[in-house]
Homo-oligomer: A and B are copies of this chain.
Amino acid sequence: MVRQSVRQLARQKSTIIRRKIYSPKKEKEIETSKGEEAVRFATLGGLEEVGRNMMFFEYEDEIIVLDAGLQFPEEATPGIDYIIPNVAYLEERKNKVKAIIITHGHYDHIGAIPYIMDKLGNPPLFTAAITKEIILRRQEDFSKAPKINFEVVKAGDIRQLSKNFKAEFFGVTHNIPDGVGVILETPVGKMVHGGEFKFDYDNEGNPKNLDVWEKIGKQKIHTLLLDSTGAEEPGYSVSERVVEQELEKLFKKATGRIILGTFASLLDRLAEIIKIAERLNKKVAISGLSMKTNIQIARNLGFMKIKKDVIIPLEDIRKYHDDKLLILCTGAQGEPQASLMKIANGEHRYIQIKKGDTLILSSSIVPGNERSVQILKDDLSRQGALVYHYKMIDIHSSGHAPQEELKTVMKLIRPKFFIPIHGYYFMRWRNAQHAQEALGLKQEETILIDNGQVVSFTKDSVKPTDENIPAYYIMVDGLGVGDVGEVVLRDRRVLAQEGMVVVIATLDRHSGKFLKNPDIISRGFIYLKENKEFVEELRKRIRNLISRIPRHQQLETDYIKSLMRDQIGQFLYNKTKRRPMILPVIIEV
């Protein structure tokens, strides 16, 4: 391991990760004068992160919204459940919102729906069948959310969304079925949102369904908006056919039980895995509610065809020989509440690891989960399982098109302008580079914008403006939506790093004298019970401090508090080189 400065790195974890919001450049003034037709476009999330995807198109008195996702908490937002887009701008214009389109059923595209639909005036929601079912299932947890007016669409459908907007839906391959992209016909031209996609390959390794993109390219496309999540990755996707072959090989090699962990939403792969099990005459048991639910939805809608008696209840696994068993489970990211972690911890009701188990982690590691997955692998292999993961064999493939697939799509669609969406700035910058390379576009024709920054589309131009609409984080924590703000988070971060000390001085209102010894409570600082002497010294300091204050200032509580904060803080720092949060309390009786 190579390391730099100890203190630097130690501090790194503790420091708030700052997100600089640059104001858009002045020269990019709005060029559309009032008379000229212009479609306005902005994202409310998804451009400085992976997640919280939401954007809209606006023309005169009509607004079309695309996706409403959530973002998972970060190091800088401890304790938060998740972050949703700020829809203040849309809420003020809710009677203009004519439709919302949802591209697919992942939480970073549907997760905010229960929170924002009534703020948007509950417009019709256009989406594909399986996405509808996933949204409905989630609505069950939100009894107060309004009933959604679904408009179920399928690939090839064309729908007039409003007076000025028409949508044509096309199917894309992602790792959840029924994902769509959309050609949005606007008064100034056709905009394509590619959904989230990757290429599907046949057994010879040739990409399938390129004709979908080709057909779009035959329409004159104004602007292409394309997912940038994979834009840093070179080359092409690992074919799901290869993944299946490798999995089948592992299945055949296994002499005992096979336990396979993956994402509950990877329905295409789950379908294929169950087919392999059928071929190899294995029974399939499922552990994990979300996976069970998703498979049920997919079966109900005919996306998965599973032979009778293949799926068995988890409690029946003891009835079968080990080599006849495939157990599918959630938790391949090391999520503490999910099946695989319970199995690893020996806390699962039906499954205990035994020597000879083959354990397959058919997923990549979502950044931030490295340590949890490491622990998972450690614990499982320690108990005798043969663990396989994607670094060892091609048993996972990302759902996001890498560079060469992105470029192929760009070349097939040949838009006049390109806006990279979904992903951190650098990912989008790379995607813009790809577009310049693949299409010969000029830099100013590949537009990098910020969340909330309004873009103006005319027939022949795409101009980022310097108008910014609110797009800051709305945080969801327990029942509270938006009530946890920067102050609360800052406090949480400080508390996490150095703990806190409450110092209570109980004084006589009249004499200003101590009525009792100062009370000291601390948490996360040092263990006071083992540091009695230290506590006594601290008490003495507090008594001295207050007794030195001239009589006429003794009732200026704020002054005394600030004095206590400073001097007690300095004393503790000198003694320990730590800076706990100091909370002085003056009780006057």
6 more A-B residue pairs beyond the given contacts A4-B330, A488-B525, A502-B502, with a C-beta to C-beta distance below 8 A: A4-B263, A4-B265, A75-B371, A232-B392, A485-B527, A500-B523
A residues bordering B, Cβ < 8 Å? Answer: 1-15, 17-20, 22, 48, 50-51, 70, 72-75, 78-82, 106-108, 111, 175-176, 229, 232-234, 263-266, 289-290, 330-331, 333-338, 345, 363, 366-372, 374-375, 377-379, 381-382, 387, 391-392, 399, 424-426, 429, 477-480, 483-485, 487-489, 491-493, 495-500, 502, 504, 506, 515-516, 519, 521, 523-527, 530-531, 575-578, 581, 583, 585, 587-589
Cβ of A333: which chain B residues have Cβ within 8 Å of it?
A: 4, 9, 12
Cβ of A19: which chain B residues have Cβ within 8 Å of it?
A: 375
Binding site secondary structure of chain A: loop
Tell me, in angstroms, the Cα distance from A330 to B4 when the chains sit together.
8
The residue of chain B having its C-beta at the shortest distance from the C-beta of A588 within the complex is B516
Question: Would B370 and A368 count as touching, CB distance under 8 A?
Answer: yes
Question: Would A519 and B585 count as touching, CB distance under 8 A?
Answer: yes
Contact of A523 among B51, B374, B491 (CB under 8 A): B491
Tell me, in angstroms, the Cα distance from A530 to B483 when the chains sit together.
9
Question: Would B479 and A587 count as touching, CB distance under 8 A?
Answer: no
Tell me, in angstroms, the Cα distance from A526 to B333 when the chains sit together.
30
Closest 7 CB pairs of A and B: A478-B577, A496-B496, A495-B495, A378-B425, A492-B524, A79-B497, A377-B426
Question: Would B583 and A521 count as touching, CB distance under 8 A?
Answer: yes
Cβ of A3: which chain B residues have Cβ within 8 Å of it?
A: 72, 106-108, 263, 265
Question: Would B426 and A81 count as touching, CB distance under 8 A?
Answer: no
A384 to chain B, nearest CB (A): 10
A118 to chain B, nearest CB (A): 20
Contact of A496 among B79, B377, B424, B425 (CB under 8 A): B79
Tell me, in angstroms, the Cα distance from A8 to B2 when the chains sit together.
34
Cβ of A369: which chain B residues have Cβ within 8 Å of it?
A: 12
Question: Would A429 and B381 count as touching, CB distance under 8 A?
Answer: yes
Question: Would A499 and B491 count as touching, CB distance under 8 A?
Answer: yes
Question: Would A499 and B506 count as touching, CB distance under 8 A?
Answer: no
Tell me, in angstroms, the Cα distance from A229 to B1 when the chains sit together.
8
Question: Would B367 and A371 count as touching, CB distance under 8 A?
Answer: yes
Tell me, in angstroms, the Cα distance from A330 to B9 when the chains sit together.
12
Cβ of A379: which chain B residues have Cβ within 8 Å of it?
A: 20, 425
Question: Would B336 and A15 count as touching, CB distance under 8 A?
Answer: yes
A248 to chain B, nearest CB (A): 21
The residue of chain B having its C-beta at the shortest distance from the C-beta of A7 within the complex is B81
A84 to chain B, nearest CB (A): 11
Cβ of A504: which chain B residues have Cβ within 8 Å of it?
A: 504, 585, 587
Cβ of A265: which chain B residues have Cβ within 8 Å of it?
A: 2-4
Question: Would B493 and A499 count as touching, CB distance under 8 A?
Answer: no
Contact of A382 among B22, B234, B367, B527 (CB under 8 A): B22
Question: Would A479 and B382 count as touching, CB distance under 8 A?
Answer: no
Question: Would A425 and B381 count as touching, CB distance under 8 A?
Answer: yes
Tell me, in angstroms, the Cα distance from A425 to B19 when the chains sit together.
36
Tell me, in angstroms, the Cα distance from A589 to B531 when the chains sit together.
26
Contacts A7-B81, A370-B367 known; A12 to B524 CB distance under 8 Å?
Answer: no
Cβ of A587: which chain B residues have Cβ within 8 Å of it?
A: 504, 506, 516, 519, 587
Question: Would B576 and A478 count as touching, CB distance under 8 A?
Answer: yes
Please list 19 pairs of residues, one from A and one from B, whose beta carbons are closer than 8 Å in the complex, sorted by A's number.
A1-B107, A4-B265, A4-B335, A8-B337, A11-B335, A11-B337, A12-B336, A12-B369, A14-B78, A19-B375, A79-B497, A232-B391, A480-B576, A480-B577, A484-B526, A489-B524, A491-B523, A519-B585, A521-B583
Cβ of A530: which chain B residues have Cβ within 8 Å of it?
A: 483
